[in-house]
Amino acid sequence: MKNAIIRLENISKIYGKDDYKTVALKDINLEIFEGDFVSIMGPSGSGKTTLLNIIGFIDTPTDGKYFLKGQDVNKMARGKFHKLRGTEVSFIFQQFALLKDYTAYENIQLPLLYRKMSRKEKKAKILFYAEKLGIGDILHKKPSQLSGGQQQRVAIARALASEANIILADEPTGALDQKKGNELMKILAGLNKEGKTILVVTHDPNIANYCIRNIRIEDGKIISDSSSLQDEPLKTC
């Protein structure tokens, strides 16, 4: 039986106070297992992005416990917390979050800047993932010179360059047309087959069909958590 690499116990998140209080998450209990390919769905304001941000160390819960590989994140020393954030989890954002004044090569290099690696090792890693994603010929270009699909591939290469085992994608197809969105999900499905644990926040049920496990959130609560044993993603997009 697989062990949970992510375990959330009674996680709640509240923004503001008193009359201005907003409850984003309410007593969330969740386990994510190594090799999971999970969609997190729900209407706007349901708490799905807040949940992803807590898992990805971008936000912190108001109450509850978060365990990553058996370690209580809330009790970690600051240095260890930042190290885990940099090595265990990587993000793919809807708007790519590329630095506009940096080339594609430099954007992919960002998670490697503070690693104890030689320049040669960094270059080899960047070129490896760029070639894997079919963008080896555009590394000298800046984001404004790239199409939306190319920018998204650069963002994926940056996430992969960190070699984190957990990839979190927040509406990753939101800025792409249907064809490019399907291509992206096929890339993520391939990475999952290679052993990556992937969580995708989406509002699109067709995108969720690529995932093996589907979680739905409404009003800050998980209302369903189902798994599919299909070998291939549904081609309904």
- The string of DSSP letters for 84-122 reads HHHHTEEEEETTTT--TTS-HHHHHHGGGTTSS--HHHH
**pLDDT computed for residue 47 by the predictor:** 94
Can you tell me the distance from the alpha carbon of 70 to that of 184, in angstroms, rounded to the nearest whole number? 31
Predicted pLDDT of residue 1:
60
Q: Are 169 and 200 in contact (CB under 8 A)?
A: yes
Distance between terminal CA atoms of the chain?
33
Strand residue runs (E) in 16-160? 22-33, 37-41, 63-68, 71-72, 89-93
Predicted pLDDT of residue 75: 86
4-227 CATH choice from 3.40.50.150, 3.30.590.10, 3.40.50.300, 2.40.50.100: 3.40.50.300
CA neighbor of 91 nearest in space, from 55, 120, 121, 123: 55
pLDDT of amino acid 83: 75
The domain segmentation of the chain, as residue ranges, is 4-227
Q: What 3-state class would DSSP assign to 185?
A: helix
Q: Which residues of the chain have pLDDT under 70?
A: 1, 228-237
pLDDT at 227: 81
For residue 203, give every residue at least 6 positions away whose Cβ sits within 8 Å of its Cβ, in sequence order, or none. Answer: 41, 42, 43, 44, 171
Look up tokens 């090595």; give the residue: 87
Structure tokens at 151: 């920018």
